[in-house]
Amino acid sequence: MRIILMGPPGAGKGTQARRLSESTGMKHLSTGDLLRAEVTAGSELGLLAKGFMDRGEYVPDSHIISMIHKSIADPAGVLLDGFPRTVVQAESLDESLENAGLGIDKVVHFAVDTDELVNRLSSRAVCSDCQTPYNLVSDAPSKEGVCDKCGGLVIVREDDKPEAIKTRMCVYEEQTAPVLDYYRSRGEVSEIIATGTPDSVFEKLSQAIGSGV
């Protein structure tokens, strides 16, 4: 089985993918993890990729694609997380699957309510000294703005502020809408509403792929 998981940053897709991989034995292919592994291994691809990442740039499609192609035919099945991100990547993926006599079984789209996502992410805070994470709603430091562990300043990261989250969501939607349409036109997309507890999202995900795990 080859499944593509799509969803905006913060939708919990990575966590769910790891869990599904553990319960089914399918290989979790996260482009972020794969890139880091290539960099650590010091491979030719890793060295090339590192140059782009060090400059804060996206690693080009061709590098990502050749990395994914190495693992796509894994007999245990594959969960693609964070790929394809563009229609060019989706077409290239189809081509390499076709060459291997394989296909995509399902595309699961994690749909989230923007307001809900903003509420959830913007309650995240962290100690600027010891990096202890806090949640300003459910797990706030006992003295406002002061870390319980080290007395450091507890801050909300720029990335977690509502405006930054909304911008990320817009960029994500602009980028991925054409990819979703690409798969929708072939009737391969299952939508799940990715709100609620991680357990309830996992249940919806399992139902969507029909694994009954």
**Site residues (CB under 5 A) for Zn ion, limited to 11-70:** none
Q: Length of the chain, please?
A: 213
List the catalytic residue out of 2, 13, 120, 204.
13
Active site residue 124: yes
For residue 91, state whether it binds Zn ion (rule: CB under 5 A).
Answer: no
Query: Would you tell me the crossing angle of helices 162-184 and 87-99 to the nearest 10 degrees?
Result: 40
- Residue (130 or 193) nearer to Zn ion, CB: 130
According to the binding rule CB under 5 A, does residue 150 interact with Zn ion?
yes
Smallest distance, Å, CB 141 to Zn ion?
A: 9
Cis before residue 178, ω within 30 degrees of 0? no
13 is catalytic: yes
CB of residue 156 vs Zn ion: minimum separation in angstroms?
15
Hey, what are 83's tokens?
A: 């790929």
| 186 in active site | no
Active-site residue, from 124, 161, 166, 184: 124
Question: 120 catalytic, yes or no?
Answer: no
Pairwise CA distance, residues 23 & 179, whole Å: 28
Angle at 44 between CA 39 and CA 46, to 5 degrees: 20
Query: Which H helix or E strand runs over 64?
Result: helix 61-69
Main-chain dihedrals φ then ψ at residue 91, nearest 5 degrees: -65, -40
Closest CB to Zn ion among 70 and 149? 149
Given the residues 70, 149, 157, 186, select the one marked as catalytic.
157
Output the CA–CA distances (angstroms, integers) from residue 149 to 134, 143, 160, in the order listed.
Answer: 11, 11, 22
Of 81 and 160, CB closest to Zn ion:
160
Binds Zn ion (CB under 5 A): choice among 129, 139, 163, 173 = 129
Which residue type does 156 have? V
| Chain residues that interact with Zn ion, rule: CB under 5 A | 127, 129-130, 132, 147, 149-150, 152
- Residues annotated as catalytic are 13, 85, 124, 157, 168
